[in-house]
Every structure is written in structure tokens, then in C-alpha cells.
Amino acid sequence: MQKDTIIIRQEQPKDYAAVEMLTREAFWNVYCPGCSEHYLAHVMRAHKDFIPELTFVAECGGEIAASIMYMRSWLEDDAGNRMETLSFGPISVHPDHQRRGLGKRIMAHSFEAAAAMGYPAVVIFGNPENYVSSGFKSCKRYNVTIEGGAFPTALFVRELREGALDGRHYVYRESDVCELLLPEKVEEFDRQFPPKEKAWMPSQEKFYIYSHSTVG
Ligand SMILES: CC(C)(COP(=O)(O)OP(=O)(O)OC[C@H]1O[C@@H](n2cnc3c(N)ncnc32)[C@H](O)[C@@H]1OP(=O)(O)O)[C@@H](O)C(=O)NCCC(=O)NCCS
């Protein structure tokens, strides 16, 4: 196999440990000192909202270099009708492979599969720099809010079918999977990995700003 051949395929049980290690490497110190996303990857596979058919890995030279994991989410209109949508995360590209288009490739692959399954849209919280070039737009453009009516700066929508969101007001409803992120469980799980130093990085402040802002 050529060193830089990239194969994107569905995640299999034999990949779990490698994906969790990759997720830890990708997220470590980016949003807070240390990270919890590798624990999330570990526990979310058993959650009722997890979607294994949309959980992909990218192999580069035979090694897992990227991963994307999907959960169900919902958009609820003012009459209480719920449309099932998708949310992904963690999405991880190994630091040695970042900023070379691999994140965009694995996202594009997953969107094609999700559209073929009939899903109308992907809704995520994240850093706009990573997502606007993959077709995500501010939630405000689609009249999607969180409970209480705010348009978070970090909330994005990508239609998988043009016009799937018809302009009516929707409230984004997430899976309760993040309730599994208990700090003591994260710490305990992390002790299975090689020691790694927790540190402050400027990206943590950037994340604080994005995640505490709204589009006016
Ligand atoms: C976020 C992540 C998945 C993106 O994957 P990637 O392979 O590094 O990114 P790509 O090369 O596919 O680029 C995606 C977009 O990021 C932005 N980007 C790329 N390089 C960048 C850089 N040096 N600085 C800022 N933004 C950059 C661009 O908008 C790019 O789109 P473009 O093609 O229009 O330039 C990856 O960097 C990662 O795993 N980061 C750590 C974990 C993380 O933050 N996950 C996301 C949680 S919200």
C-alpha cells in the first residue's frame, strides 16, 4: 500500500482502541487542559442515539488517522413536531495529519452516506473555522435556536437536502449522551493511557469566546 493512500470505511470493533487513542491525541489541551472526548468515544457507542452506520475512520498508510462519530439529534418546531437530524462529534484528525484536508474528506464522506440514508440535516456545535468550508452555516440563517431563543455563534446547520429546513423556527435538541461525561469517570479512563501533561493553550480561550457568544 502506498504510504499516503487514504481509505475511508465504517468503524469496526477492532478500531475502538485506536480511535480512542487518536481522539485523545487530537483533543488534548485544545479546548481545556487535558480532554474528555476519548472517554466520550468510548461510552457513546453503547448509547441508544449512536449511529454506527455513520461512524467512519480514515486509514492513511494503514494507520487510523481520522475518525468521525455520529449521534441522533432533533429539530423541534413551535408546534412540538420533531424532525430527526444528525450531530457528529468527536471528529478527530491525528495532529500529524491535520490541516491537509482529511477532516473535510471524512466529513464529506459521512454527509454522502447520511443523505443516502435520508437524513435532512447535520447540526453541530463547533469552531466555525473548521466547518464553514464544508457547507455549514450559522444556525441563524435557518432560524434554529437553542431553548430560550438564542442563536449561539458556535451552532451550525448543514442541510443534506436543499430546503429540508423550511424557514420555520426550530429548537435544537441534543442527545443526552454528554451526561455520561462524569469527571471522575473521565479521569479513571484516562489513567489507562500513557501519561500526558495537561496545559493551557490559547485555543482554550478561543473556545470560551465562541461557546459563550450569540449571533445578534
Ligand atoms: C478540526 C479537525 C477535525 C479538522 O480536520 P483537518 O484535517 O485538520 O482540517 P482540514 O484540513 O480538512 O481543513 C478544514 C478547514 O479548517 C480550516 N483550516 C485549515 N487549516 C487551518 C489553519 N492552519 N488555521 C485555521 N483554520 C484552518 C479551513 O477552513 C479548512 O477549510 P479550507 O479547505 O477552506 O481551508 C482537526 O484539526 C482536529 O482533529 N482538531 C482537533 C480536534 C477538534 O478540534 N475537533 C473538532 C471539535 S469542534
Say what the pTM is: 0.96
Rounded to the nearest whole angstrom, what is the distance from the C-alpha of residue 207 to the centroid of ligand 1? 14
Residue 4 has a pLDDT of 72
What are the pLDDT digits (tens) for 88-139? 999 999 999 999 999 999 999 999 999 999 999 999 999 999 999 999 999 9
CA distance 170 to 190: 37
CATH class label, 6-175+206-211: alpha beta
Residue with CA at minimum distance from ligand 1 atom 21: 99
Rounded to the nearest whole angstrom, what is the distance from the C-alpha of residue 99 to the centroid of ligand 1? 5
Residue 3 has a pLDDT of 56
Q: Is the CB of 127 under 6 A from ligand 1?
A: yes
Rounded to the nearest whole angstrom, what is the distance from the C-alpha of residue 77 to the centroid of ligand 1? 32
Whether pLDDT at 83 is above 60: yes
Q: Is the CB of 211 under 6 A from ligand 1?
A: no
Which uninterrupted H or E stretch holds 99? none
Residue ranges covered by each domain of the chain: 6-175+206-211
Are 40 and 84 within 8 A, CB to CB?
Answer: no
CA distance 66 to 88: 13
| Average pLDDT estimate for 11-16 | 98
What are the pLDDT digits (tens) for 28-59? 999 999 999 999 999 999 999 999 999 999 99
Provide the angle, in degrees to the nearest 10, between the axes of the packed helices 37-44 and 16-27. 150
Q: How many CA atoms lie within 13 A of 148 on its CB side?
A: 5
User: How would you classify the pairing of strands 56-60 and 82-93?
Assistant: unpaired
CA distance 150 to 143: 10
3-class DSSP state of 27: helix
Q: Is-cis flag, bond preceding 90, omega within 30?
A: yes
